Structure 1
Amino acid sequence: MPLTDAKVRNTKPSERPQKLADGQGLYLEVRPTGSKLWRYRYRIAGKENIFAIGEYPTMSLAGARTEHDKARALVKQGIHPAHHRQAERLVNRTANANTFEALAREWIDKKAPGWTPYYLRQVERFLAADVFPHIGKLPIRNVTAAHLLEIIRRVEARGAETVALLIRQWSSAIFRYAVATLRADHDPAAALKGAIHRPKVEHRKPLTREQIVQFIKALDEYGGYRATVIALRLMLLTFVRTVELRKAEWHEFDLERAEWRIPAEKMKMRQPHIVPLSRQAIELLQELHTFTGGRALLFPNLRNPNTCMTSTTLNRALERMGFSGKGSIGFSAHGFRATASTLLNEMGYRSDVIERQLAHTERNKVRASYNQAQYLDERKVMMQVWADLIDELTK
């Protein structure tokens, strides 16, 4: 006769173990200690086995019957329920070890050697701030498109659409890595492509010839640090990326050969870059050397000389000069590149030469190598003509 809840609850322990049958091999073992254990007796290949289902009252009569049904289904397939349970526990332990954050950090470690330090910090910072607190501890197989959509919608709501787009892209790359290493089955982030409205790209505004004159005049009247003034003049003369100038070191410069050789690890595209130096640029560097020549960096941070000038220093100076900020023309330090590109194209210089000097990557590697060697002489002439033009405009 099947067991009842009352029978299970009210059975008292005795000197010897008791077995209360429920049917089809399921029974309750009541031990002298008072423990009540659910057991399932079954046969596979003619051999009797006992499967420990659970303990009462943690597992009720109804719960024991449910687990008993699952175990019977396995036995019919010739599978020992205990072996199946062990396999499930192993899968769960593996899943718990393969959390989204664990896979993300593993992916970062794989990719970091090909990234710039700035990009690495960007990936780590945004994932740590916006993603890991919400899904970092979840097994990666349990993370769904709904989880990711909630995260990127939250980021988008604070006005950081570009960050939301990056998070979706990075998440997709993490899932693809997990799939490739057999720790995920698909990429749920792929389904969210297009879920975030891509903000309109605002191209950096170049200075006109008249505005270059105004800029030099404002720079001459600027009351800030002389090193900041020199940095802005060098930005105009060399039109390198801001980070390349901020992190420049004296050993990269050969003033006798009039060259600045930027190593690959400091370049956006991870390729070494040569900047021919005009006479005017060399004069500025010689002056700057009297201030910072005793240090490794051209532009050390005033508060921490072992680090470089901060990313906001130049733009803050432009803001004080009236070229950036509310009511201004909206110019930023990065705009020197657009300024040089626009005017040099107007002056008739070949676009290949200009693009090479801007360190824009040539997709064809053979052609890129050829261009670097072939265009250097032309670039030297162009950079001197560019510096002379600025002098002429400001006389």
Structure 2
Amino acid sequence: MSATREVKFSEAEVRRQAADKSVRDLRDPRHPGLYLRFWSNRERGTWHLVRGKKWVPVARWPELSVSAVLAELPALRQRLLRSPATAPVVSGMDTVGLLLDWYADRMWLDRSLSAKRKAAVRAAIRQHLHPCLGDLPVKYVTAELIDKHLIWPAQTKLSLSYLRQMFGMLLTAFRQALKLKMVDSNPLAGVRFSDFTKARIAPKAARLRGVHLPELMQQLAQAFEAAPHDAMLALMMLAHGTRVGETRLARWSDVTLAAAEWFIPAAHTKTRTEHRLPLTAQLRALLVRYRAIQQAHGYEGAYLFPNRRGHCLSETQASMVFTRLGQGQWTSHDLRKVSRTTWTDLGIDGHIGEMLLNHTLGKIASTYIHTQAMEQRKLALEKWHAWLDRIGFAAIHGLKEALFEIPQNSPQTNGGVVSGNLSELVISEDSK
């Protein structure tokens, strides 16, 4: 192996030489004393400053690119002259792009994050943050440059709420890098999104309101006859206020008719906490009818909402369901919104409503309230489903005898007894 090869330093030239296993070291006559020594895997290397026979490591490649090490070279030489015994190693995160790449890789390996969240982080970095800020040296980052290169150009084409999320990502990346001493300082410490714009970020307007529900229920009744899988996904979300992600992943083993409960594992929820939803008599009847339809079509698999390969619906496939149903007029999230809004109109306690949505409780509530309030949740859903019955839900689930609305504060319940001629089918968590 040749000890050293002379080249003109550039990132392209270094990568070209890395492919030649006969080369160990690179030097550029224009920059005396600076050497790059490749590691055995050839994908990485170490920058050295050589004084006499002493090789002093100063940085790693490709963490510190060619352009970055050349920019730092005068400062490195001065530091080496002042303190010959100390290796003047510099941070490899010289640009915002390198910091973002490190943060994206870190998030990708975080087991506490959902696959959807990981993909969203990568997409935001790849499509927006990297193109706008990737080449900006970390040591020159200021609020003014963030405003110039990211905030103000991006606000012309992106929503402020999404832009605020991206800025939050950038802040988190800098904070984490500083904690781990990957950077010397956090140039964005104390900077807030409101420093860039005072425009109010309004929540998205609801495209479904209570007055639309009778027409929607009629539409879902028709869809249940033609495409029961599509209609059932929407009905489960409307009936419980669940998210589309946790609903599409539902397994029959998570549904227990005998205990009248739908269990959603923590791994399937946005909050990473398990969620238990009481099943009303209406929902038990609907599930029995839906399961019979699946079996009539020869499906005996594990999922409520399978695709053609027998797996659960993918995120894209679930989105297409609501493209077909909503026809651009409403989305899956609008079902969750209209459920929550109507619960309030029905007088359902706000705290119970938040529990049903599986929202994260505030710090005080989490500290002092140690109950899942299952009985109150059940009463709330019975009140909600009785209201839905009056606008057409009863025709879909097929429960024959009328169910009387139970006032939310009444201590009396129906004990979970299903009125009408319900199948004795029981699908439990340990029956599979």
TM (norm. structure 2) is: 0.62
Uncovered stretches (5+) of structure 2, i.e. residues with no partner: 1-28, 34-50, 55-73, 395-432
Equivalent position SS for 1:260: strand
> Equivalent of 1:229, from 191, 210, 231?
231
Q: Say if 2:352 and 2:377, in contact at 8 Å, map to a contact too.
A: yes
Whether the aligned pair in 1 keeps the contact of 2:80 and 2:86 (CA below 8 Å) is no
Which residue of the partner structure matches residue 215 of structure 1?
216
Matches within 5 A, 1:310-325: 310-320=317-327, 324-325=328-329
CA distance 1:86–1:248, change in 2 (3 Å): same
Alignment partner, residue 353 of structure 2? 354
Residue of structure 2 equivalent to 1:308:
313
What's the offset of the Cα at 1:173?
A: 0.8
SS in 1 for 2:263: strand
- Measure, in 2, the Cα distance between the counterparts of 1:287 and 1:261: 19
Where does residue 280 of structure 1 map in the other structure?
282
1:350-373 CA distance string (max 9 Å, x none): 333222222222223243432x0x
CA distance in 1, matches of 2:335, 2:31: 79
What is the CA distance between 1:106 and its match in structure 2?
A: 5.3
Change (3 A) 1:346 1:179: same
Distance 1:275 1:298 in 2: 16
* Whole-angstrom CA distance in 2 between matches of 1:389 and 1:166: 37
1:296 corresponds to: 302
Correspondence for 1:24: none
Cα separation, partners in 2 of 1:250 and 1:91, compared to 1, 3 Å: same
Aligned residue among 233, 242, 247 for 1:240: 242
Seen in structure 2, the aligned counterparts of structure 1 residues 139 and 305 have a Cα distance that, compared at 3 Å, is: farther
Aligned to 1:99: 98
Question: Residue in 2 aligned with 1:121?
Answer: 119
Counterpart CA distance in 2 for 1:335 and 1:133 is 33
| Residues 165 and 346 of structure 1: CA distance in aligned 2, closer, same or farther (over 3 Å) | closer
The CA deviation at 1:169 is: 0.8
Distance in 1, matches of 2:305 and 2:191, equals 46
- CA RMSD after TM alignment: 3.8
Q: Which amino acid aligns with 2:390?
A: E
**Which has more radius of gyration?**
1
Partner of 1:148: 146
Question: Which of residues 254, 259, 270 is equivalent to 2:261?
Answer: 259
User: Which residue is equivalent to 1:184?
Assistant: 184
Match of 1:384 in 2: 382
Q: Per the alignment, in what secondary structure is the counterpart of residue 272 of structure 2?
A: coil
- Return the alpha-carbon distance in structure 1 between the equivalents of residues 31 and 368 of structure 2: 77
Alignment partner of 1:333 is 2:332: yes
Give the 3-state SS of the residue equivalent to 1:315 in structure 2. Answer: helix
Give SS of 2:277's match.
Answer: strand
The alignment-based identity, stated in percent, is 18
Give the secondary-structure state (helix, strand or coil) at the position aligned to 1:334: helix
Q: How many aligned residue pairs are there? A: 315
Unmatched 5+ residue regions in structure 1?
Answer: 1-34, 40-48, 53-66, 326-330
Q: 1:93 to 1:380 in 2, by over 3 A?
A: closer
Q: Distance in 2 between matches of 1:216 and 1:80?
A: 76
Contact 2:248 2:312 (C-alpha < 8 Å) held by counterparts: no
Farther off after superposition, 361-370 or 174-183: 361-370
Structure with the larger helix share: 1
What is the letter of the counterpart of residue 351 of structure 1?
G
| CA drift at 1:229 | 1.3
Cα displacement string for residues 36-94 of structure 1 (whole angstroms, at most 9, x for unaligned residues)? 9999xxxxxxxxx9899xxxxxxxxxxxxxx8xx98xx7xxxx8739659844x32667
**Secondary structure, aligned partner of 1:377:** helix
Relative distance call for 1:103 and 1:299 in structure 2 (3 A) is: same
Alpha carbons of structure 1 residues 37 and 162: separation in structure 2 relative to 1, 3 Å: closer
CA deviation string 1:82-132 (max 9, x = no partner): 9659844x326675899313431355257x333333222211211122223
Partner SS, residue 155 of structure 2: helix
